[in-house]
Every structure is written in structure tokens, then in C-alpha cells.
Homo-oligomer: A and B are copies of this chain.
Amino acid sequence: MSGELKREMLAMGAAARDAARTLRESSNDTRNEALRVAASALRARVPEILFANAEDLKAAADSSAAMRDRLTLNGKSVEAAARGLEAIAALPDPLARVLAHWKQPNGLDISRIATPIGVIGMIYESRPNVTADAAALCIKSGNAVILRGGSDSVRSSRAIHAAMLDGLQAAGLPEACVQLMQTTDRAAVGEMLQGLGGAIDLIIPRGGKSLVARVQSEARVPVLAHLEGICHVYVHKDAKLEMARAIVLNAKTRRTGVCGAAETLLIDKAVLSSHGIAILNDLKSVGCEIRGDESIRAVFPAAKAATEEDWRTEYLDAVIAVKMVDGVEDAIRHIETYGSHHTESIVTEDAATAERFLAALDSAIVLWNASTQFADGGEFGMGAEIGIGTGKLHARGPVGVEQLTTFKYVVRGTGQTRP
């Protein structure tokens, strides 16, 4: 990377840090105004956003259909982004929270209050709408953000970013609250991972395995991990047949490309014939490829043979790995061995077994009698999310505006000194 580019990036970091200070002290009304004006600006800028998107699509003519699909915008998706900004503006102020408050025997009055994290570095891939969503979640939570989108979507992201700047200007907030990296040089990502001279407090990567692997090996600043979702559904022997069929079909096929989609189905030995075959036929009838272990293939010959690798694979596609298990402990063992600690569901009418499953698994989200596709900030009532955290630290599960805050202790005394 050229020295000039490095200097430019350090300047972005310094500008973000200054902007974060202003944003931290801004009112919720000011931040909401920025979001509402940005929503109007998105609508006003539809023609130029779609023109930019058409240019991106032209440049991506040789890419896969799935990639082009993620990249494509239309009037409806821009309107959805605008409504998303308005929905985030309508959320309660995440910074107006006293998280705890108590008095010590010596009279010290201690509060733990929510504060912004500071400067967030967001690294993502081809979906251009992330530019609007991530910017809005950061503004609402009082954080400055440096966005680095995929090079494929750079023109679309710039057009969306222009609308965000309209909002910041109208609200009297610094433009550096939301900076979009203009270069497509990959070395710039490395510079972000070094923290831009101490300016970045947190990196949030959203993307495929190679991006996440790079972030994990290079980052010198804290990372809010968004890894893959190898989500499981376990059909227990006491599952209602119709409920199990509906949940498995929804968990796998409602949308196959989301991180909360089920990737592995565990069917209890006791209901392999009674429930298993019906469930597998449902999946097959909608075009889902089934990869089963020997026990599955014995009762469902249409299944391909699953390999060890299948248990560790996030397909994000119409493919499912299916295994027979012998009781809840066997299911728990499989999930702890092969899972990614994202989201797992048990289908059963037996409360004790369900509670055992919910307690034993160390995943961010564990469900009883519900589809794994509920792993989503909107479905959790958080309004919007920047992703689903799979790490152990700071935040797990849907990361919404509250999860983009930290806290500080405010202590009010009357002259106390420590003995």
C-alpha cells in the first residue's frame, strides 16, 4: 500500500474519533433526525442508486448468480432500506439506559450507564443495503463507523452513503460519523484491522469464511465475531409429527441463504420411521438434497451418503445433513462436537428433555418447538440487527442497537476517601 493511502486512512481514523466525540454528546432527537432525513434522501435518490447498481452489475457480469442476486437492488429493496432507517429511528434511545444503580454503605451512589463503544469498523461483502443498515445502527447507538464494503458493490454503496450524509448534514452532525472507504485496495482492510492508529474500538466482519479467517488472524483490535451458523434441529421421540414436519421444513427451506437456516437434522432413533420418513419426503419434495448417515439411508434410500465433512458444513443452500441419534444426550454430544454455537432447536412435547437440551448446549440461541429461522434481531423484538454474534464476549445472538453500546460507572460522593 502506498504511503499516501496509509496517511489517508489514518486521517479517516482521526476524523472518526473526533466525530464519535460529537456523536456521543448528541441527543437522541438529533440522531433520529439524521436517520429520518437519510430515509427521505434514499427515496429521492432511487434513480441514481439504481444507476450505480446497474454499473456494479455490469462489472459483475461474470459472477455467480447467487453473488449477482446479493448485489442487485431495485425500487423495493431501496424502499425497504429507507423503512429500516425509520424503524431504527423509532427505537428507544439505547444510550438512555441506567443498567444498574445502587448505594454503598459509605454513601457512594453508583450507577452503571450505557455509553457508545466509540468507533466501529464494519467490513462486509456484496450486499449494498448493509451500508444503510450498519450506518443507521451505529448512528442510533452513538458510534462513528468506518464502512468497508465489498469491491463488487462499491458504486451502489457510494450512492447509498450519499443519502446517509444528507441525513447527517441536516441534523448538524459531522459527516465523519459515517465514512465509506473509497478504495478497493485489499491492503486497506489490513490497515483497518491494525486499528488505524488506535482509532478503531471494534471490528465487525460480515461475510464468508475467508474474510472471517483473515480478520481473526490479522486483527489487533477487538472483533465481534459473526461466524457461520451450523444450526441443528433435533426431532425427539416425543415430538408431535405435524409440528416436527412444519419446523424442519421452515428451518431448512424458508430461506436457505441465512445464517439461521438449519444445516443438520438429528432424528431420534425411536421416531425414524414414524416421523423421519415423512420429514425427509417433505424436504425432498421441495428440491432439498439429503445427505444421510447409514441409518438414514437404510430407511430413505434417496439420501446421498454424508461424510464427516457434512456435519461441519454450512451449506447456505438447499442441502441438509441428516443423522440418526439415540436420545437427547447423543444429540447434545453431536451438536457440541460439530456445531458452531449459533442456533439449535429441539422439537418435543417432553418438558424435562427440552429443558435438558436448552441447559446443556452452549449456543447463542437455543429453541424449544420453534424454527431456527427465528434467529434474527427483528424476530427477537430488537428492531434491527447488524448480525448474529457467535463469539462469547460482549454480545451473542442478534446484535442490535443495545448490543452496540458499552457502559461506564458514574459514582457520586460527598467527599469519601478510602480507608
Q: Which range holds the interface residue count of chain A?
A: 35 or more
How near does chain B come to A417, taking the closest CB pair, in angstroms? 4
Q: A360-B25, A380-B110, A381-B102 known; A407 and B415 CB under 8 Å? A: no
How far, in whole Å, are A414 and B370 apart by their CA atoms in the complex? Answer: 7
Which of A7-15, A77-85, A285-293, A391-399 touches B?
A: A391-399
Other-chain residue from B222, B396, B410 in contact with A407 (beta carbon distance below 8 A): B396
Whether a CB of chain B sits under 8 angstroms from the CB of A240 is yes
How far, in whole Å, are A217 and B411 apart by their CA atoms in the complex? Answer: 33
Q: What B residues does A367 contact at CB under 8 A?
A: 411-413
Contact of B415 with A370 in the complex, beta carbons under 8 Å: yes
Contact of B366 with A408 in the complex, beta carbons under 8 Å: yes
How far, in whole Å, are A223 and B220 apart by their CA atoms in the complex? Answer: 10
How near does chain B come to A413, taking the closest CB pair, in angstroms? 3
How near does chain B come to A260, taking the closest CB pair, in angstroms? 9
Q: What B residues does A415 contact at CB under 8 A?
A: 240, 243, 246-247, 369-370
Q: What B residues does A251 contact at CB under 8 A?
A: 417
Main SS of the interface on chain A? mixed
Which chain A residues numbered 364 to 414 have a C-beta less than 8 Å away from chain B? 364-371, 373-374, 376, 379-381, 391-394, 396-397, 406-414
Whether a CB of chain B sits under 8 angstroms from the CB of A418 is yes
Q: What B residues does A117 contact at CB under 8 A?
A: 392-393
How far, in whole Å, are A134 and B243 apart by their CA atoms in the complex? Answer: 47
Contact of B397 with A394 in the complex, beta carbons under 8 Å: no
Which chain A residues numbered 182 to 224 have a C-beta less than 8 Å away from chain B? 201-202, 216-217, 220, 222-224
Contact of B374 with A408 in the complex, beta carbons under 8 Å: no
Q: What B residues does A166 contact at CB under 8 A?
A: none
In the complex, which of the residues A247, A249, A379, A407 has the most CB atoms of chain B within 10 Å of its own CB atom?
A379
Whether a CB of chain B sits under 8 angstroms from the CB of A53 is no
How near does chain B come to A242, taking the closest CB pair, in angstroms? 8
How near does chain B come to A121, taking the closest CB pair, in angstroms? 13
How far, in whole Å, are A336 and B394 apart by their CA atoms in the complex? Answer: 24
Q: A369-B414, A380-B104, A417-B373 known; A362 and B409 CB under 8 Å? A: no
Other-chain residue from B243, B246, B254, B393 in contact with A406 (beta carbon distance below 8 A): B393
Other-chain residue from B201, B358, B364, B416 in contact with A371 (beta carbon distance below 8 A): B416
Beyond A368-B412, A393-B393: 11 further Cβ-contacts under 8 Å? Answer: A25-B360, A110-B380, A216-B220, A254-B417, A364-B408, A366-B410, A368-B411, A369-B413, A374-B413, A376-B418, A396-B407
Shortest beta-carbon contacts, A-B, top 9: A370-B413, A250-B417, A243-B415, A373-B418, A394-B394, A367-B411, A369-B413, A370-B416, A393-B394
5 contacting pairs across A/B (C-beta < 8 A):
A24-B362, A108-B374, A364-B408, A370-B415, A397-B408
